[in-house]
Amino acid sequence: MSSERTFIAVKPDGVQRGLVGEIIARFERKGFKLVALKMLQPSTEQAQGHYTDLSSKPFFNALVEYFSSGPIVGMVWEGKNVVKSGRMLLGATNPADSLPGTIRGDYAVDVGRNVCHGSDAVESAKREIAFWFKPEELVSWTSHSANQIYE
Ligand code: DAT
Ligand code: MG
């Protein structure tokens, strides 16, 4: 099984609204494997670094202020096509377009309060994982369920 990793974060609104467990549960139930997890309070500089690709957008300053407004829970999830599937679990960026059944579709209303982050490509996932985690914080382990999840 070629395994891929993605960076998923519960944003400050998701933490404040008590959605950490709900978001973790959806990735667990799907069959993905958690390989790193931490709670932290992002600094302004960390928020800017995380969203560096969006620095020219008109909403960048508000985004950085929001992302650094309270603790986040950052995670690395591993599995087949986990980057794309993770984005499907999150739902469309704007919750007005996110389907019911997705995290944003079920729990968010405004694009600037969409409760979760997920890497949008394998390359950006690599960058974001390295940005938030030290290599030794990523745990290699074998799930007992691997043979039930993968053929
Ligand atoms: P995503 O989080 O789905 O990867 P993105 O990378 O394009 O979306 O943007 C990062 C975040 O910025 C997004 O989760 C919410 C905010 N954002 C995006 N587009 C926005 C807009 N048009 N107005 C306000 N905030 C926006
Ligand atoms: Mg993005």
Residues 68-110 have pLDDT tens digits of: 999 999 999 999 999 999 999 999 999 999 999 999 999 999 9
Between CA 146 and CA 51 the distance in angstroms is 33
Q: Is residue 151 assigned to a domain?
A: no
92 lines ligand 1 (CB under 6 A): no
pTM: 0.98
Please report whether residue 149 resides in a domain: no
For ligand 1, whether the C-beta of 113 sits within 6 Å is: no
* Residues 6, 115: Cα–Cα separation, whole Å: 17
Residue 83 CB: number of other CB atoms within 10 A?
A: 21
Digit-coded pLDDT (tens) for 124-135: 999 999 999 999
Q: CB of 88 closer than 6 A to ligand 1?
A: no
8 A C-beta contact, residue 88 and residue 116: no
Let me know if residue 80 belongs to a domain: yes
- Looking at all shown ligands, the one closest to residue 115's CA atom is 1
Domains held by the chain: number: 1
Tokens 């059944």 correspond to what residue?
Answer: 101
Give the residue numbers spanning the domain of 80.
5-140
Structure-token pair, residue 88: 């499907």
Q: Is 87 annotated as a binding-site member?
A: yes
- pLDDT digit string (tens) for 38-74? 999 999 999 999 999 999 999 999 999 999 999 999 9
The yes-or-no answer on residue 117 being catalytic is yes
Ligand minimally distant from the alpha carbon of residue 90? 1
